[in-house]
Amino acid sequence: MIPVFDPVIGEEEIQAVVSALRRGEISGSFGSAIPEFERSFAAYLGCKHAVAVNSGTAALHLAVGALGLKPGEEILVSASTNIASALAAYHQGLITVPVDSEKQTWNLDLDRIESLIGPKTRAIMPVHLYGHPVDMDRLMQIAQKHKLAVIEDCAESHGATVRGRMTGTFGEFGCFSFYANKVITTGEGGMVTTNDDKLAEKIRLLRNLAFIEPRFFHREAGYNFRMPGLQAAMGVVQVGKIEKIIADKRRVAKFYNERLQRIPGLQLPAELPWARNVYWMYAIVLKPDFGLSRNELMQRLKKLGVDTRTFFCPMNQQPVLREQAGYREVDCPVADALWENGLYLPSGPTLTKEQIDQIGQRIEEARSPAFGKING
């Protein structure tokens, strides 16, 4: 089976973790690895502050928490995303308003935002889905016009750029994940980025139980979302490799684009002229003339040794959000269709051209009328 993802852990990562262990940097409150990881990540992005935390979800919770919004207020969130984006709002008593996707990049449709802004709307959370950035120049103009805060969910977009500027440097906050399958990884982990000194301080405070002076006296409800030093040590090595990893992912995407454009009925991922797509996962959408349902294709590919995953179930279809008091009904027909017809293919950075040709061949086999006779 060709897996959807295969983490690449080098000898350098192993050495860095062992060395942090030998220095006793095992927790999240001391040692050199955490500040080093934060500095190198901020330098890579070209932003002022980066605060390491223990997951992408934790990063989103802190970013939303730091805005200090009131229960019942609303955040516009990309409909097609990981539930973690919406849960960051949910756990603060805030209402998620899903924004439908646009058809080309599958990111939130900027043309729909203004009609969704209501008297309780306070923030927008755009998600840079599968590594293609949202047009943040345009989104920031809309946000500024309506005085909305912006939290970028960059869990899938490390290194993606908009007119040369990195995602995670536009909004009040960028939130990154370093889960095993993300562009770079620390096993589990996350980062909050910001250019605002006060907001950075607030995130650091909330990350560590909001300790102030005198010690053990607390004015605010903080969290323990600290990243352990061990993982930060791995992160430092991974940041050093990020451009190589992105080059590999872009090479994989190029091989796929070349091979799959010969197959009718497939919508391939876009890269708009102003964007750098990092192709976190190589995703495709089946058009009606493909002749097979998405689920049938996935089942057939599994039989042929190719692992795949569906797109996200959109936020407008999530019972946990719909049952929340104050939920606003919003139709998201494009995100609904992506959930039904979208899937992503094996996307590990070490995939070879031969493997990708083979996956293309398997898709053709799965689609051919002969498949049922041979494999049925």
Q: Supply φ then ψ for residue 355, to 5 degrees.
A: -65, -40
Residue 277 binding ligand PLP, by CB under 6 A: no
- Whether 298 and 345 have beta carbons less than 8 Å apart is answered as no
Residue 98 binding ligand PLP, by CB under 6 A: no
The only residue of 47, 64, 99, 127 in contact with ligand PLP, by rule CB under 6 A: 127
> Rounded to an integer, what distance in angstroms lies between the CA atom of residue 240 and that of residue 185?
12
Q: Which stretch binds ligand PLP (CB under 6 A): 79-87, 249-257, 264-272, 313-321?
A: 79-87
Residue 155 binding ligand PLP, by CB under 6 A: yes
The only residue of 56, 126, 159, 346 in contact with ligand PLP, by rule CB under 6 A: 56
Q: Which stretch binds ligand PLP (CB under 6 A): 50-58, 94-102, 142-150, 358-366?
A: 50-58
- Interface with ligand PLP (CB under 6 A), residue total 14
Q: How far is the CB of 130 from ligand PLP (least distance, A)?
A: 9
Residue 232 binding ligand PLP, by CB under 6 A: no
Residue type, 119: P
Tabulate helix, strand, coil % of the chain (nearest 5): 40, 15, 40
Angle at 305 between CA 103 and CA 241, to 5 degrees: 65
Q: Residues with Cβ < 8 Å from 282, sequence gap 6 or more?
A: 130, 252, 253, 256, 269, 344, 345, 346, 347
- 40 versus 57: smaller Cβ distance to ligand PLP: 57
Q: Which stretch binds ligand PLP (CB under 6 A): 51-59, 102-110, 166-174, 295-303?
A: 51-59
The only residue of 74, 153, 271, 336 in contact with ligand PLP, by rule CB under 6 A: 153
- 31 versus 174: smaller Cβ distance to ligand PLP: 174
- In this structure, the chain runs to a length of 376
Exposed/middle/buried for 79, CB within 10 Å: 0-12, 13-18, 19+?
Answer: buried
With b for 16 or more beta-carbon neighbours within 10 A and e for fewer, the 240-255 pattern comes to: ebbeebbebbbbbbeb
Residue 80 binding ligand PLP, by CB under 6 A: no
- 82 versus 169: smaller Cβ distance to ligand PLP: 82
The only residue of 41, 90, 170, 179 in contact with ligand PLP, by rule CB under 6 A: 179
The only residue of 16, 38, 64, 81 in contact with ligand PLP, by rule CB under 6 A: 81
Q: How far is the CB of 54 from ligand PLP (least distance, A)?
A: 8
Residue 85 binding ligand PLP, by CB under 6 A: yes
CA dihedral (158, 163, 169, 175) in degrees, to 10, reads -30
Residue tagged 């051919």 (tokens): 368
- 304 versus 332: smaller Cβ distance to ligand PLP: 332
List of long-range contacts for 7-14, beta carbons under 8 Å, 24+ apart:
7/180, 7/181, 7/185, 8/245, 8/348, 8/349, 8/350, 10/237, 10/241, 12/237, 13/234, 13/237, 13/238
What is the CA 5 to chain-centroid distance, rounded? 15
Residue 133 binding ligand PLP, by CB under 6 A: no
Angle at 278 between CA 45 and CA 203, to 5 degrees: 35
The only residue of 40, 55, 185, 308 in contact with ligand PLP, by rule CB under 6 A: 55
Of 270, 269, 291, 248, which is closest to residue 345 (Cα–Cα)?
269
The only residue of 177, 193, 308, 316 in contact with ligand PLP, by rule CB under 6 A: 177
Binding pattern for the stretch 180-219 against ligand PLP, x by CB under 6 A and - elsewhere: ----------x-----------------------------
- 175 versus 304: smaller Cβ distance to ligand PLP: 175
Interface residues with ligand PLP (CB under 6 A) are: 55-57, 81-82, 84-85, 127, 153, 155-156, 177, 179, 190
